[in-house]
Amino acid sequence: MRPADPRRGQVCTAVLAGAALAAAVAGCVFAAVGTIAADGSRAEAAAGPATVASAVVATAAEATVIDPADRPAAPALAGDDLDGKPVRLDGFRGHVVVLNVWGSWCGPCRAEADDLARIDRQTRDRGVRFLGINTRDPDRAAARSFVRAHGLGFPSLHDPTGELLLRFPPALLNPQAIPSTLVIDRRGRIAVSIGGAVTGDELSPLLARVMEEAS
């Protein structure tokens, strides 16, 4: 029986900026869940519309990178997309999946959407699939307008009540923090959790790390 790795059972959490991003991608020194910015702060703003009053709009990205041996399975997700077509997360098994939680009412979601659309196009031929969860948008028309405005070419499950978000471990996907992004490995396990709006420069190396893993 091999000696226990003192890093096992923990994850690497880093604010996605400068050296912290490089550390996260390299594997860094594993830290307990909950490490945030060096000054102890995180930029957040309360959502405005009454329909989303319970949500927190997260504007600063923070990544949690999970060791393969400790990754939890992603929950089963199935439902209709914004056009009423059925979509299942397990239909992407065998692909690396970027799962993005967004709402048309969310300013930081608009800020990250163009980068997500670009990375989706750049990585599709390399076996990556994107899937959205559109949350707290009771009107699908508003969500479809958001998709058209940003050229999003991937489907999004319509989850107006946030019920799908409650299926995830809250330490990895806070159902009250919008936007959030997960990278799911080819075996259907959560490999990376990102809270807050993420840029292409932040997401790309984290995604590449999971893409390089053996099936």
Domains of the chain plus CATH, in order, are 44-211 (3.40.30.10)
Q: Which two tokens stand for residue 36?
A: 């945030």
Residues contacting 122, CB < 8 A, separation 6+:
none
Residue bearing tokens 């702060």: 41
Could you report the per-residue pLDDT of 61-84, keeping only the tens digit for each?
899 999 999 999 999 999 999 999
pLDDT band for position 90 (cuts 50, 70, 90):
very high
The 10 Å Cβ neighbour count of residue 78 is: 12
DSSP 100: E
The 10 Å Cβ neighbour count of residue 73 is: 10
Q: What pLDDT is attached to residue 212?
A: 96
pLDDT band for position 12 (cuts 50, 70, 90):
low
Question: What is the rounded CA–CA span in Å between residue 205 and residue 208?
Answer: 5
Indicate the pTM of the whole model.
0.79
Is 8 or 77 the better-scoring residue by pLDDT? 77
Percent of the chain with pLDDT over 90: 70
3-state secondary structure (DSSP) of residue 171: coil
Question: What is the rounded CA–CA span in Å between residue 81 and residue 159?
Answer: 9
Q: What pLDDT is attached to residue 21?
A: 46
- 42 pLDDT higher than 50: no
Could you report the per-residue pLDDT of 132-188, keeping only the tens digit for each?
999 999 999 999 999 999 999 999 999 999 999 999 999 999 999 999 999 999 999
DSSP 115: H
Q: What residues does 159 pair with on adjacent strands?
A: 135
CA proximity to 198, closest of 4, 3, 64, 19: 64
Three-state helix/strand/coil letters over 65-92:
EECHHHCCECCCCEEEECCCCEEEHHHH
State the average pLDDT for the chain: 82
Cβ(35)–Cβ(28) below 8 Å: no
Q: What pLDDT is attached to residue 58?
A: 72
Mean pLDDT (whole number) for 95-114:
97
Is 29 or 120 the better-scoring residue by pLDDT? 120
Q: What pLDDT is attached to residue 38?
A: 28
